[in-house]
C-alpha cells in the first residue's frame, strides 16, 4: 500500500503544473489517440517522462517537471505544451483544451484500458463512465506536513474563486447546461470530490488516507480527488479546482495566484494566526455559485456575515498579494462566455476550432 509521509514535505514554494487535454482529429472532434501518444513512440526529449492517460482515450495529461523558481513557470509550461502538440501532430492528431469538450459524447467515446481506470469504472460505474472532464492541477511545495494541512484547510475558501475565474465548460454531451462550469458539477458526481472537510493536522489526514485505502474505498491515495489536498507523495499542497484552459496566460494566472496564497498562508502559519473558517455547507454554496455564475459569481465571506463579488475578491487579492494575473483574467471575456459567443456566431465547428492549441 503506497502512502506518503511527513518526510515528503521538505521544500517551500516549488511548483508543478498538471494540465489535462483532449486529443482531437483534423475537425477538432475528440478521438481515441492516447495509446499512440503514450505507448506508440518514445516521448519527446523535452518531456522525458512522457505523457499519461486519463480516463478516456481522447484525454491526456501533461505535467511540467519540478519548477524551482516561479519565474520559470511560463517557460516550463510552454515547453510541455509545445512538445505535446508536436508529439500529437506526428500521428495526425491535434490537442484541444477546455473544462469539457463541447463535442465529446461520453457514450460514443472509448475508455482507456489502463488497469487503474478499468478498476475505477468497475467500482464507480455511471459517474465515472461519463466523466469526460479536463482540469488544471497546481502543486506548491510546503516544507512541513502540518503546515501543508493547515494551508489546505484555508485554501478551501479560495477554491470557488479559482473555479469562477477559470470557468470554461458550459457545454456537455452536446448541449448548453446553463452552467459556467459543468465540468465541476459532473466531476463532483464521483466519490471523494468537492471541497473537503478540514483536518486537525497531518496525522488526522494520513489516518483518513490510510483508512480509505485499507477499507477498499479507493485503490490508492491518488483517488482522493478533492478540490484541494495535501499531496503526501510530492510534499505539496495541490489545488485541483480550475477548469482546463486553452490560453496559457490563464493557466499561469491561476498558478501565480495559488502559489501566492500558499506562500502567504505559510507565513501566517508561522505567526500562529487562526482566521475564521466557514462551515463546509457554506463553502459548498460558494462552489455552487462559481459553477452557476462564473465571472458573475458572488461569495459568502469568510466570516459568513455577508457576500462579496468576484471582482471585489480579485481586486483585494491582487492588492494584498502583489499579483496581477487574475485581474487580467477577470477583466477579459470568460472562457464560458467566449464558448457561448463562438457557438452562437459560428456553430460547433467554429467552437471546436477555437479550442485547439496553436502549433
Per residue in 313-333, pLDDT (tens digit) is 999 999 999 999 999 999 999
Torsion over CA: 334, 336, 341, 346 (sign): positive
Q: Output DSSP code: residue 181.
A: B
pLDDT of 277: 77
Beta strands in the chain (DSSP E): 15-24, 52-53, 59-63, 94-96, 136-141, 171-172, 175-176, 193-194, 225-226, 228-231, 236-239, 298-300, 307-309
Please state the domain extents for the chain.
6-17+114-354
Q: How far is CA 26 from the centre of its chain?
A: 26
pLDDT of 276: 66
Query: 274: pLDDT confidence band, cut at 50, 70 and 90?
Result: confident
Please, which residues bridge with residue 52 across strands?
61
Contact (CB, 8 A) for 240 and 195: no
* Fold exhibited by the domain 6-17+114-354: Creatine Kinase; Chain A, domain 2 (3.30.590)
pLDDT of 112: 94
Per residue in 177-197, pLDDT (tens digit) is 999 999 999 999 999 999 999
Q: Which residues of 226-246 are buried (b: 16+ CB within 10 A; e: fewer)?
A: bbbbbbbebbbbbbbbbbbbb
Closest CA to 137 of 35, 275, 281, 236: 236
Closest CA to 236 of 61, 17, 80, 77: 17
State the average pLDDT over residues 142-166. 97
Residue 275, pLDDT above cutoff 70: no
Stretch (H or E) spanning 86: helix 73-89
Question: How many angstroms separate the CA atoms of 53 and 94, rounded?
Answer: 16
pLDDT of 272: 86
Residue 80, pLDDT above cutoff 80: yes
Per residue in 86-96, pLDDT (tens digit) is 999 999 999 99
What distances in angstroms separate CA 250 from CA 100, 162, 254, 313, 335, one per listed residue? 16, 11, 6, 17, 10
Contact (CB, 8 A) for 283 and 226: no
pLDDT of 270: 87
Residue 247, pLDDT above cutoff 90: yes
Amino acid at each position: 500500500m503506497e502512502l506518503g509521509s511527513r518526510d515528503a514535505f521538505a521544500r517551500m514554494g516549488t511548483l508543478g503544473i498538471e494540465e489535462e487535454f483532449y486529443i482531437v482529429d483534423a475537425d477538432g472532434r475528440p478521438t481515441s489517440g492516447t495509446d499512440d501518444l503514450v505507448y506508440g513512440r518514445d516521448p519527446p526529449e523535452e518531456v522525458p517522462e512522457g505523457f499519461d492517460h486519463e480516463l478516456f482515450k481522447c484525454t491526456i495529461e501533461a505535467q511540467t517537471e519540478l519548477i524551482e523558481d516561479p519565474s520559470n513557470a511560463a517557460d516550463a509550461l510552454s515547453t510541455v505544451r509545445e512538445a505535446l502538440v508536436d508529439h500529437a501532430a506526428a500521428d495526425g492528431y491535434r490537442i484541444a483544451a477546455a473544462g469539457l469538450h463541447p463535442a465529446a459524447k461520453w457514450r460514443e467515446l472509448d475508455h482507456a484500458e489502463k488497469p487503474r481506470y478499468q478498476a475505477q469504472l468497475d467500482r464507480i460505474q455511471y459517474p465515472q463512465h461519463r466523466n469526460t472532464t479536463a482540469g488544471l492541477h497546481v502543486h506548491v511545495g510546503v516544507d512541513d506536513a502540518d503546515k501543508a494541512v493547515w494551508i489546505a484547510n484555508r485554501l478551501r475558501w479560495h477554491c470557488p474563486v479559482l473555479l469562477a475565474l477559470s470557468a470554461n465548460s458550459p457545454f456537455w454531451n452536446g448541449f448548453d447546461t446553463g452552467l459556467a462550469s459543468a465540468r465541476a458539477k459532473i466531476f463532483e458526481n464521483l466519490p471523494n470530490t468537492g471541497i473537503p472537510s478540514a483536518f486537525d493536522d497531518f496525522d488526522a489526514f494520513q489516518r483518513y488516507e490510510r483508512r480509505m485505502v485499507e477499507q477498499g474505498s479507493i485503490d490508492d491515495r491518488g483517488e482522493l480527488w478533492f478540490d484541494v489536498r495535501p499531496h503526501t507523495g510530492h510534499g505539496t499542497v495541490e489545488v485541483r479546482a480550475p477548469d482546463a484552459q486553452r490560453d496559457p496566460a490563464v493557466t499561469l494566472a491561476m498558478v501565480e495566484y495559488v502559489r501566492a496564497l500558499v506562500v502567504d498562508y505559510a507565513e501566517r502559519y508561522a505567526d500562529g494566526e487562526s482566521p475564521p473558517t466557514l462551515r463546509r455547507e457554506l463553502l459548498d454554496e460558494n462552489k455552487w455559485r462559481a459553477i452557476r455564475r462564473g465571472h458573475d459569481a458572488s461569495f459568502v465571506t469568510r466570516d459568513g456575515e455577508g457576500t462579496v463579488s468576484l471582482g471585489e475578491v480579485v481586486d483585494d487579492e491582487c492588492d494584498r498579494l502583489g499579483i496581477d494575473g487574475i485581474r487580467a483574467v477577470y477583466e477579459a471575456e470568460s472562457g464560458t462566455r467566449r464558448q457561448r459567443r463562438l457557438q452562437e456566431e459560428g456553430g460547433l465547428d467554429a467552437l471546436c476550432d477555437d479550442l485547439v492549441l496553436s502549433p
